[in-house]
Structure 1
């Protein structure tokens, strides 16, 4: 029988009256607590024992008056006894208990005065026996009715995943695999959660039922019987059903509908299930439980359990500016009204109940679950506000109108799709418990009558309108998959091509996440808003010019808010290494008068918010630009009047001509004639870290010289064979010229070196000069005719700002490209660059003052010498003054200034800017 809180409260009042004169510890304690547990309809013998023997910290024996392992320890005293001393005595007992036995709560009591302490939170409540009815909800844990406090990185989440993972492994090893295993585990986890959180009442009836099935061979069929019971209404169940199964509620929700043969349990599998059941599931957050639970399906991924789940903090960064901030501001304005308040509150409730949320890459439902919790919490505050007006006449369970059927998703994996449904039901139950606590009733939504819509399928193949008609969609949100272009499967590349260029024959070097932006742009209608987490690559490098003109021009979208680059996700065992952005989009017809931009001084820290009229796709203020949609186009020649740069040598020789210092020495010992054909061969890694590498330069070798070097001839033969087997026609043609490089850059005078890749940790990309006979590799860019002023500009903070925002990234490292970064970098108009020469030389002199230090050493932010840092500071200030007299406050201000110069410089290449209509708004 499920007892409502009013019934429990009434029972508590009778209990308090019956025991108002109780005072004697030894004679009355056991009867007192037997009747106390009966308030909740729980037989004390089922959960707790009296007089448990335990050693005190001093080693002397002691006895716990009442002990419920893992839940409650009671120290009972006679009336008027010192309860503070009793609490110290109770705490003494806990030091000798095992982790599994450690209670979450202590109760010290002298019959008339009660003191309950929550050991996990430190919260303490004290009251008189006569006030027990007012505080009886504090003992909701006896039935599992408690609102848990979740922590993003709580290790219990990982422990739960590991326990279920152990059960998974044993089931899979027995041959129970595939769809059956996935559904079976989903049901088991729901039941484990239900047993500890009040869906099943009283608490632990599942555990007790499982403990009673001693024969492992009968456990599988018995579990199937339990699933059948959970899917059958109470009045439709067999009259001969056992009492043990009859006590389970009707759940419905299609979770237990499908039938398939159960697994054949052995003792090890039974033990694994019981271990998972003994675990306390109350602090497991439904928001991250899905991702953790999914990881149990892959033993390798489980070893880093939690590494991929999304923290609640980061989900809130998206849903806050997308809708929650607006909804809370609207609610606050209604609460402040003096007239029409009641009507406005009810209209706002209508709005909450009408909103729909669509995550087309929902995974295990993290975003949907947190969104549901936040909307339900806002609804609860609304209901309390209605009650404060004396207007709440109906039962709160009727008035609560936000439900899981407002949530939609698409997920490519069947298992996470089902987990997403289950996680939403779990959060629904927890929010119903919060509603129950607030209004003093008990409002479970069991049996489940409504369900979220989670479509199992490939979101780029499914018609989103079939999942949720676009005219009914309020918000599209989520965290689509991050797959770089080079890692995409042929199918993924074809999907990208179809979305980006449906009539074209070629694909696009766009990250896979861009596909969700494109499909969302084509899907949304009316006032629907979009927000996705994305790799920061779509806001820098060549991808900006590929993606954003389509979103702006084809689909008429505008950036409404954005989080600039920050570190995404985390786990209890170490920080994640993914750097992301969050982009929020409005349809242009709905564009607001201001846009919100969140920036991070510390990638792991909290953001600083600024407000702007428009935001650039590079995620900075675009208000000063004539064209706020401006993107930097890759150009083959400098449009800034810098000397031309070019790529280094691309040999296409495999390893046949390339040698380490030792390999070169060994080769020369066997082939002395080859010594004069070796040249230093320097790429980014070698240049920055001072590593020696060499290449055979045979282009000018005469036939008779080659004929006298058999080992070199063997290398030439290997290069010919390698090239002839290539899939590229141009490389096959080059096989006839094995002593030539595919791209030959062999400088005859000193040249400036720009590493193609450099660590994002460095305050400056390390550039500098090299001399012949060095041959630069294709992993550096070179400027043969560079002057000191060229070096000064390229090693300045101003140029680094341009590189950080415009250059692409390799992982998180800077990726320097000629056409996108060097050829487009705006120079200060009309400036005398020769003024920078002495400052540039001072930087070079400061480097030279540290012989033996590599550029990696010199530009490590932790190791950079003070004189070099000071020389760069003087150079930075001088370069900044060439651009404007007023100092720049930082990177973002510099790049905003540079963009205005770029717009003027590139004006002949650019289309006319769009006209953007804006509406008033937050």
Structure 2
């Protein structure tokens, strides 16, 4: 490739030679041959004159010049209407195959040019005298690409993955499968990308396939094998009789084409599909996004939601910016006035090492590498101000060898390695465009360090020495403690043999534990994405007590719970947190909160970030069997263990009683969290006090009992209960009025709906119960103070709140109120109950009443008054009353209560 200085010089010479030409018929072909020569391209190799096509009317048309899939040129005599020439060019499109459609149309009358970018809709017009000033518009001819703004929603990413997915399926169908198919697809990916981005001469791969293979596809595999073999050999090692069309391919190295693969097999349909892949603009495809999409083509269950499984760049930046990028950018701003300091800083960033021990297709490494390269280019701009940057091969020091990864599956590990090469090349092209000199790292002498293996079993020091490493980052797999396979459980246990509580931790915690051990005694900074479960409930105490107290780490930054989504089709949403930690104590700890769980974060400085990701002391809250502060006990509801056989809707119960009247007195209203929130009436057959003689008089009830016995016999966990089929599996019926608190409630509500029930009701295990609860307790549990504690200390089911008596209620510190304050809280509690009853009588459910969007004004104000009275009882006088401030206050109370009661 020519550098821009040479191209611009040739453009000026071209203008001088052709600025006075007028005769289209006599000189047009010479004009366009010379035009391509400006960019160092032989027109004969890429484009043809007078390409015959059928117009929409069925007549023969002749395109002045066609570079298939890239450029269509329509030429007119001087002074002719160029807009009409453009319309004529568009009329040829129906006669072209999909793969032949151009990305650009160029029309000219010798004196003027008009260039149409068909993908963006841009149009640029200029005179031949202005040609050299607009030369960058034709970077696509020379092999240069302007800076790409990759869009996650760009259809080309999904279209490319879909076509590669179809090719994968067809190869697999003919028997080409397994490891060879995976390597084959990665090689094709590299070649397709190389053909569009300047690694190869423009379109030589596509042209070779079109011109040298038969239309029936019978020899396509042979020719692909020949290309792979050629790419693996230096020019001097190739046979002297090799064809010129093969010998034009460069030596790639990097071991990408080293392994000999069996020949695949293609047919006409597969060849056509492959040519459609070749016709896509691979220069617009993002390696970060496409890698995960490409991986998903191998998994039929993910194919339906193609694009739902990559990690969006926006979320990756939430990790890498606070981990290292913000700090490096700040340092760059401080040194950019000094050449010497800039050079030292440049050396620093070129020596940094990054490690993703669950790298998948390399998304985090790719974006981190790109950002480091962009920073390097900013450094070079400062160092080369006022002069053209020469010898980019010496100036560009950041390379893929600084990046390390572990991936358990072979295919994504291969994609990660190739994707890092591809992003490296994209950045080289951007540097070439920026500094006016072509630079490419071919053959591939620098190699990313991606290891195919089990990250929880591998010694990380064998991948990269911790004494050389600077940053660990990534998005380890999310699998709940109760959903791991036996293999995964053993993998997790292998991280910390004999670690107490390991079986209660989610799979992702293995990476946190391993990182805490590996980074001991170093300045390495780590940042992982995780499900929010590891900073909630019992897991928070088990995991972080080890990381804080045993390994001596501190949290430097944290993103509280947010929805981890992307913009592709079939959005995959997970409720996540991000934690950045290291052994050094942070000088500038930051918490990112999400007022809208799907929105943008708000950053606040913190003195200390604890395991719940709030600015509060590192106090570990563990489950308790008895309340620390509350007077009343909160207990679980009953578990029928019946496969819902004892349970009836109101209509089902009425129908049953109509047929078996004696059963009516054994039906009791039955309520769980769902029934409470949505005002659903259900019943259960409660036979604890039913004498055997009476049971025999009720054949329908007896049949229910038999069904329960059979159900329990078929369930390993309930088989012992099969001998007691008239009883609930776990009976916690209180036979007293009680206050019900749902186990699970929507994240969208600021307040968990709770309600009183009479003693006839039976509480399910989806509802906690407090027998004979006072209005004062109702008021405290409905307060913002208690809700803030619940949100931080409790667990989540997906994003929904998951209440716990042993963790939330039993550890909650109640105020020490005066008698007058108790009465004030009870008054507001009763006011809330009266307002609710008014709306419930008119068929509103608690789900309706506590929907933040439609919550009645009087109910909202009643809760505000309740909060005011509860805050007075706590002597809580903070001006700012966010959940975080409330929890910090409650942690102080908790710490004082524990100290006073030792």
1:521 is aligned to 2:516:
yes
Provide closer, same or farther for how the CA distance between residues 909 and 596 of structure 1 changes in structure 2, counting only shifts above 3 A: farther
CA distance in 2, matches of 1:54, 1:873: 75
Q: Which residue of 2 aligns with 1:241?
A: 242
Whether contact under 8 Å (1:751, 1:786) holds in the other structure is yes
1:693 alignment partner, one of 674, 677, 682: 682
Q: Which residue of 2 aligns with 1:37?
A: 36
CA deviation after TM superposition for structure 1 residue 691, in Å: 2.4
Q: Which residue of 2 aligns with 1:19?
A: 18
CA distance in 2, matches of 1:351, 1:631: 39
Provide closer, same or farther for how the CA distance between residues 32 and 393 of structure 1 changes in structure 2, counting only shifts above 3 A: closer
CA distance in 2, matches of 1:466, 1:527: 19
* 5+ residue gaps, structure 1: 623-627, 911-922
Q: Which residue of 1 aligns with 2:384?
A: 387
1:578 is aligned to 2:567:
no
* 5+ residue gaps, structure 2: none
5 Å matches for 1:494-643?
Answer: 494-500=490-496, 502-503=497-498, 507-524=502-519, 525-587=521-583, 590-622=584-616, 628-643=617-632
Deviates more, 1:99-108 or 1:253-262: 99-108
Cα RMSD over matched residues? 2.8
Provide closer, same or farther for how the CA distance between residues 602 and 332 of structure 1 changes in structure 2, counting only shifts above 3 A: same
Deviations 1:646-693 (A, max 9, x none): 111122233342333344344434443222111122111122222232
CA deviation after TM superposition for structure 1 residue 71, in Å: 3.2
Secondary structure of the 2:398 match is coil
Secondary structure of the 2:573 match is strand
Q: Which residue of 2 aligns with 1:913?
A: none
1:789 is aligned to 2:776:
yes
Provide closer, same or farther for how the CA distance between residues 643 and 61 of structure 1 changes in structure 2, counting only shifts above 3 A: farther
Provide closer, same or farther for how the CA distance between residues 55 and 722 of structure 1 changes in structure 2, counting only shifts above 3 A: closer
CA deviation after TM superposition for structure 1 residue 169, in Å: 0.6
Secondary structure of the 2:467 match is helix
Q: Which residue of 2 aligns with 1:917?
A: none
Deviations 1:245-295 (A, max 9, x none): 111111111111101211121222222212211222121101111100001
CA deviation after TM superposition for structure 1 residue 862, in Å: 3.4
CA deviation after TM superposition for structure 1 residue 396, in Å: 1.4
Secondary structure of the 2:383 match is helix
CA distance in 1, matches of 2:106, 2:885: 60
TM-score by length of 2: 0.93
CA deviation after TM superposition for structure 1 residue 153, in Å: 1.9
Whether contact under 8 Å (1:880, 1:887) holds in the other structure is no
Whether contact under 8 Å (1:144, 1:195) holds in the other structure is no
CA distance in 2, matches of 1:605, 1:97: 44
Secondary structure of the 1:769 match is strand
CA deviation after TM superposition for structure 1 residue 207, in Å: 4.0
Whether contact under 8 Å (1:802, 1:825) holds in the other structure is yes
Count the aligned residue pairs.
Answer: 890
Provide closer, same or farther for how the CA distance between residues 50 and 882 of structure 1 changes in structure 2, counting only shifts above 3 A: farther
Secondary structure of the 1:16 match is helix
Deviates more, 1:107-116 or 1:429-438: 107-116
CA deviation after TM superposition for structure 1 residue 395, in Å: 0.9
CA deviation after TM superposition for structure 1 residue 546, in Å: 1.4
Q: Which residue of 1 aligns with 2:850?
A: 859
Provide closer, same or farther for how the CA distance between residues 394 and 61 of structure 1 changes in structure 2, counting only shifts above 3 A: closer
CA deviation after TM superposition for structure 1 residue 798, in Å: 2.3
Secondary structure of the 1:470 match is coil
Provide closer, same or farther for how the CA distance between residues 435 and 550 of structure 1 changes in structure 2, counting only shifts above 3 A: same
Deviates more, 1:511-520 or 1:630-639: 630-639
CA deviation after TM superposition for structure 1 residue 78, in Å: 5.2
TM-score by length of 1: 0.91
CA deviation after TM superposition for structure 1 residue 95, in Å: 8.3
1:354 is aligned to 2:351:
yes
CA distance in 1, matches of 2:304, 2:124: 41
CA distance in 2, matches of 1:145, 1:178: 36
CA deviation after TM superposition for structure 1 residue 815, in Å: 0.4
Q: Which residue of 1 aligns with 2:796?
A: 809
5 Å matches for 1:657-806?
Answer: 657-720=646-709, 722-723=711-712, 727-728=716-717, 734-806=721-793
CA distance in 1, matches of 2:325, 2:810: 43
2:369 alignment partner, one of 356, 372, 377: 372
Q: Which residue of 2 aligns with 1:920?
A: none
Q: Which residue of 1 aligns with 2:886?
A: 894
Deviations 1:534-571 (A, max 9, x none): 11111222211111111101211100011122221313
CA deviation after TM superposition for structure 1 residue 867, in Å: 2.9
Whether contact under 8 Å (1:642, 1:790) holds in the other structure is no
Q: Which residue of 2 aligns with 1:442?
A: 438
Secondary structure of the 2:283 match is coil
Whether contact under 8 Å (2:541, 2:611) holds in the other structure is no
Deviations 1:855-892 (A, max 9, x none): 22222333433332332233233333433234444322
Whether contact under 8 Å (1:497, 1:506) holds in the other structure is no
1:111 is aligned to 2:105:
no
Deviations 1:763-819 (A, max 9, x none): 211101111211111110011121112111212222221221111011111101101
Secondary structure of the 1:594 match is coil
Deviates more, 1:36-45 or 1:69-78: 69-78
1:471 alignment partner, one of 467, 474, 478: 467
Whether contact under 8 Å (2:167, 2:273) holds in the other structure is yes
